[in-house]
Chains A and B, each alone.
Chain A
Amino acid sequence: MLSIAVDETRCNGCRRCEAVCQVVSLANGGLALPRIRIHRGEGGWRVRICRHCEQAPCADACVSGAMRADPARGVVELDASRCVGCYSCVMECPFGAVFMVEIEAGGCRAVKCDGCRERGDLWCARYCPTGALRAGETSGAVATQIRRERAWRLHGAQPYGGGARWR
């Protein structure tokens, strides 16, 4: 099971994760582009990386079958060869973690964290000096933090399944 816990309050904006990701992505035969992006938001740093949600809104919205959540393995996978560049996933991801890159004139494809594929645990987390990114733990405090963050981002105060919140 892959798990990524993000604590944005710990991020110091060093961007080491971006650099490491770029290298790993290239080594895996992908584009030399970071699949994690750090930027300054109001009151702190924003860590834009795929959280591999169990009920991934990007996968729900994917109209081509390119984005799939695999709950058994705990990853959301993107098969770039099936992506048609429709922006549906970009519109859905509450973490802003799917990026569009132009691969040919006028043609875009989605790019996002692939969980370092066969390369063991997450390299960005391994090199994160502050603990803003943590990986590999699926129980205890990290898991609780993951669940809380997702619930808040995805559905506001009310977690998924907790009933409708009409306004």
Chain B
Amino acid sequence: MKKEYVVIGNSVAGLSAVRAIRAIDREGSITVVSEERHLPYSRVLLTHYVAGKLRTDDLFLIQEAFYQKMRVRLLRGVRAVRVVPGERGVELDDGRWLRYDAVLVATGARPYFPAVFARGPEGVLGLRTLEDAVRIREAALSGSQIAIVGGGPVGIKLACALQEAGLSPTLLVSSPHILSQVADQEAAAIIERHLARAGVRVRCGVNVEELVAGRRGLQALMLSDGSVLACDMVVVCKGVRPQVELVAGRVRVRRGVVVDAGMRTSAPGVFAAGDVVEVRDLITGEERPSAIWPHAAAQGRVAGTNMAGGRVAFPGALQRNALEVLGLPVVAMGVTRVPADPAWECVITRSKVAYRKLVLKRGRLVGAVLVGDVEGAGIIQAAIRRGDAGWRQLVTPRAS
């Protein structure tokens, strides 16, 4: 019997699943449902486009021929409205109904807008899609004043991109330092100094309290320190929320779709992978939205393999980020902020050009922050995954 597969979402998790399904099942029919009309592109490269370093053509991950080669039916510009596990079908916004034996929910996430920005005037946006990036690039080229809200990796990368595009952007951060979810204070301070030297203004400890709009849209932001920042565009980079609407109420959802190690949801035949899911953290055991590219790729492969009858498991999430901040490399992995508890310790090496911190819990490696010199970071990641006690050799990078 020919199996019918439906993949909802045509980005990294979805593509990775398609490859995995085809590697096992050459006969089954595969339909990919994509709300976006574009071929899949790399969201991570959107800031490179804003900076003017890449053209839109450079962002695409694959060509049309991929779908022919994989014998995939691609429905572009079509949204899946709901997945109905009881009837093993997916309802599409054009009224069609797709039957499935196995369906993958790979619908990703969308930017989160705090209340003050909700239903904001023209000029308030997030950065998630190619359209968002095009609007930001156009604004940058026409000399707009652009403010960025959020000191996470995306906010920082966008600030750098706008600086490279010739603007002097302002990054507004509510926490006392940037990368508060990702790195420690000392690393953040080094990166903040680097940004300041390059001409990116970073203002920490401020919130946006009100938007001031005129007839032509946004004009200024009223900030919590009493100051007013004139700007005609604000890009909100305050994290993302999984897009779970199409399965909510029919499979288990907390912050994201809940899955087991095989990427199965609570409903038989329904799988999920990528930014839409919530996964167990390898180190802390905490369940939280996944939200990084390498997880989406690996989970997509695990889901696809299992959909086609294989048996593989995703080993669990390891939060990690690699960043290039105007020439300064940064890698943060695992647990980076240490609780005041004698079971935890840090081993730090500092030099003129580098800051490298290893985080240990009861003598075992559980995290690392590397700034300025990230050479061999993957060796450290492997050691974190293994929970190595033999971490000493990792402290000093080798002299080349």
Contacts and interface: CB of A to CB of B under 8 A. Distances in A.
Interface of A: 37, 39-42, 46, 48, 55, 57-61, 63-65, 71, 82, 84-96, 98-100, 106, 108, 152-158, 160-167
Interface of B: 16, 23, 42, 44-45, 48, 53-54, 58, 61-62, 261, 280, 282-283, 285, 293-294, 297-298, 301, 311-316, 320, 322-324, 326-327, 329, 331, 333, 374-379, 381-382, 385-387, 390, 392-393, 398, 400
B42 A65 contact: yes
B381 A92 contact: yes
A162 B393 contact: no
Contacts of A152: 386
Contacts of B382: 94, 153-154
A91 B332 CA distance: 9
A63 B312 contact: no
A90 B387 CA distance: 20
Contacts of A60: 16, 294, 297-298, 301
B331 A91 contact: yes
Contacts of B301: 55, 60
Contact of B374 (A46, A87, A155): A87
Nearest to B42: A63
A-B residue pairs, 8 tightest by C-beta? A94-B382, A42-B393, A93-B378, A63-B44, A156-B386, A60-B297, A61-B294, A87-B322
A88 B280 contact: no
B282 A90 contact: no
Contacts of A64: 42, 44-45
B42 A156 contact: no
Contact of A41 (B16, B329, B393, B400): B393
B381 A61 contact: no
Contacts of B261: 163-164
A67 B293 CA distance: 14
A104 B385 CA distance: 34
A66 to B, nearest CB: 10
5 contacts: A42-B390, A58-B378, A65-B62, A91-B331, A92-B378
A40 B314 CA distance: 33
Contacts of B375: 90, 96, 99-100
Nearest to B23: A71
Given A86-B322, A91-B374, A164 B379 contact: no
A164 B374 contact: no
B280 A90 contact: no
Nearest to B329: A87
Given A87-B374, A106-B326, A166-B316, 14 more contacts: A48-B376, A60-B16, A65-B42, A84-B53, A86-B322, A86-B324, A91-B333, A91-B374, A157-B386, A161-B312, A164-B313, A164-B314, A164-B315, A167-B282
Contacts of A85: 324
A39 B375 CA distance: 13
Contact of B61 (A46, A48, A65, A91): A65
Given A95-B378, A98-B378, A161-B312, A87 B42 contact: no
B398 A57 contact: no
A13 B393 CA distance: 17
Nearest to B62: A65
B54 A84 contact: yes
Task: Output the residue of A89, A91, A156, A166 with the most chain B CB within 10 A.
Answer: A91
A53 B135 CA distance: 40
A40 B399 CA distance: 10
Given A63-B44, A163-B313, A164-B261, A90 B390 contact: no
B44 A90 contact: no
Nearest to B333: A91
A70 to B, nearest CB: 12
Contacts of B294: 57, 60-61, 88, 92
B61 A156 contact: no
A37 to B, nearest CB: 7
B42 A160 contact: no
A155 B313 CA distance: 12
A93 B103 CA distance: 31
Contacts of B390: 42
A41 B388 CA distance: 15
Nearest to A42: B393
Contacts of B280: 164, 166
A159 to B, nearest CB: 10
Given A85-B324, A164-B280, A167-B283, A42 B392 contact: yes
Contact of B315 (A82, A94, A160): A160
B25 to A, nearest CB: 16
Contacts of A58: 378
A94 B378 contact: yes
A39 B376 CA distance: 12
A87 B323 contact: yes
A36 B387 CA distance: 27
A82 to B, nearest CB: 8
Given A61-B297, A63-B44, A165-B315, A90 B378 contact: yes
